[in-house]
Chain A
Amino acid sequence: MTSSRLIARYAIEHADHFEVITRYADTTETLHLPKKAPILSSLAAEHPAAIWFERKMQDDFGLRLEGAWDTRPLVQQEYFPSNTHPLLASFDATQSLTPIAAHPYPYETVDGDGVFEVPVGPIHAGIIEPGHFQFSQAGERILHLEVRHFYKHRGIEKMLEGTNPLHAWPIVERISGTESLAYQIAWRDILLQATRTELPESLRCYHALLLEMERIVHHLTDLGFIPNDAGFGTALAIASRLAEDARRQLKRLTGHRFGFGAVRQDIPAAYDPQQLLAWVKQLEQELQTFSDWILDVPSLWDRFDTTGILSHDDARTYDAVGVVARASGLPLDRRDTPWYRELGWECITETGGDVAARFHVRLREMAQSLTLVRHLAEQVVPIDTEKWGTIKDGRYEAFVESPLGELYLTADLKEGKVKRFFVRDPSFVNWQVLHRMMPGNIIADFPLINKSCDLSYAGNDL
């Protein structure tokens, strides 16, 4: 019997011990490890996606893993100094590290006659974030893929330690630019709890509207890029035009094309729902045409159908979230609340688990997001908002359904400052399940499968 879904596992340093928090969907477990022998039992046998959390703790704090099949460094790459644990309080955040002579990273490989490796990355052919994919191949067929990331590691967790939570906004907004509004709403929820503030309903509607706008931009972009990776450029030409329209609407609403700064600011006094609603109506029509057309292109669906299947069991075992989980039949969505249900929200799932299913989920969610925007737009009224109150110390957590999936953010606040900031981007778990979609597929379909999941590197690497 497996326990409930694993959301995150992370550590906090105290004077004489490490506290390891394991957040499940329905419970939180806390372990205390003595500093002299900080040995952590791995959960990876039951929850394979625990391994990145644990390897991260090994790098960040120097915890030692017990019962783990994989104890390679995760965040710290070839040139990273040994025995360096940046999240320890004794480690000066701003110190400049000197690269050491490279110690090669042993990739997961498959042995056998004629089996060969294809290393891809960290810099990719297109305009994409950096990350490494190591393929074990038998001819064109993929036997195994190892995803290796953290090239973009900026040290966000350490960067935010010691800051005033009210001053952390500009950084939180830029952890993952294409999920900025989700991160902002998560941070808003942390601050609301810490200052014991109630959110005015009009503001809640406005932020929810912005979150759907971000999802619309994101899904539209994917609806173009996924077919493009199957060589069908016309879809990209159409969807990228619609995505640009949506981004311009976001700019009209917030003053910024990605909505940076939007959640900490008031609703603009010039807020006008009519113009927005006219655009929604137009996009709904265009989306219908797009949908009728693209669903009727057999050569495209020949590439989508049965490609990169993630089974329902694998999605659950690997604790997958977001579009990836929903396309494999897991009804996981943080908008599953009475408030959203009242607006007409329903969890959209597919059962195929392939590229086609993920494309369908995005297509249907797009239509739903437009309906949500239509309902929310009328409820937004510019209001005077009060200033944040005094920050109360404590541990706070927030969940938001970003365009990619469930975002989990937690902060320990002490003496009005951030003591520990931890965030688990939906990509952090979904990257770990990507390899389960590969066996039996040809390497030429990898970009298509990867794009159908559209995961974040910046949010993952922090």
Chain B
Amino acid sequence: MVRFWEQRAKRGIVTEHPEWEEEMAALRKELKKGIHKHFAGSLAIRMVDSGSCNACEAECNALSNPYYALERLGIHFVASPRHADVMLLSGVMTFNMLPHVLDAWEQIPEPKWCIILGDCPLLEAPFTQTYAIKGPAAAHLPIHHHIPGCPPTPEEIIEGLLAFLKTLG
């Protein structure tokens, strides 16, 4: 255990990795401003997977690693749609998920926004249309913003959230 703390002290804070420091600082400044204006300090996101390959989810999980540390920007993922400002939707919108996605959307209190994540919700990922797919998401929900990529990288997701906040002006 002592060795652990030695190592820990030696390593310092990896979040300030030189590779990311400058960019994140600029992002942080802009994001914080946007968040204060519209969400009184924080942005709560309910992530919903409507039939993805799980890569978008893996990248959203990566947002919490010490390199990206999303929560320091006041953005966090919440467990219930009732705590959320934003639904972040990934996947092709399967026949089986559609009613549950709409249910989750209904549970988010106003004002609310839907951001689609990755190429799937636009049906621009390589999957072709089948009986089991009810996408694109826009056929069922008002879409406010899109973060493209297959999957978008954690950096692109954060930049996408920033761009979304800018649209609220």
Contacts and interface: CB of A to CB of B under 8 A. Distances in A.
Contacts of A237: 65-66
A120 B60 CA distance: 22
Nearest to A79: B99
A113 interface: no
B167 interface: no
Interface stretch (A64-72, A153-161, A390-398): A153-161
Contacts of B80: 125
What DSSP secondary structure best describes chain A's contact surface? loop
A170 B124 CA distance: 12
A174 B66 contact: no
Interface residues of A, number: 57
Interface in B125-169: 125-134, 150-151, 153
Interface string B7-32: 10000001000000000000000000
A458 B3 contact: no
A336 to B, nearest CB: 27
Contact of B96 (A151, A158, A241): A151
Contact of A129 (B57, B64, B126): B57
B53 A91 contact: no
Contacts, number: 155
A457 B126 CA distance: 19
Given A125-B80, A129-B52, A155 B131 contact: yes
B96 A150 contact: yes
Contacts of B153: 257
A176 B129 CA distance: 18
B130 A125 contact: no
Interface in A230-279: 236-237, 240-241, 243-244, 247, 257-258, 260
B75 interface: no
Interface SS of chain B: helix, strand, loop or mixed? loop
B130 A129 contact: no
Interface string A436-459: 000000000000000000001110
A2 interface: no
Interface string B31-69: 000000000000000011101111111111110111100
A458 B54 contact: yes
B77 A127 contact: yes
Contacts of B97: 122, 130, 151-152
Nearest to B126: A170
Contacts of A190: none
A129 B62 CA distance: 15
A184 to B, nearest CB: 13
Contacts of A159: 127-128, 130
Contacts of B52: 129, 152, 177, 458
Interface string B86-128: 0000011011111110001000000000000000000001111
A241 B66 contact: yes
Given A170-B126, A257-B153, A260-B150, 19 more contacts: A94-B131, A123-B104, A127-B77, A128-B49, A128-B57, A151-B51, A152-B96, A153-B96, A154-B92, A155-B130, A158-B132, A171-B126, A177-B52, A178-B58, A244-B62, A247-B62, A257-B59, A456-B54, A458-B53
Which 6 A-B pairs give the minimum distances between C-beta atoms? A177-B55, A155-B130, A170-B126, A155-B132, A125-B79, A177-B53
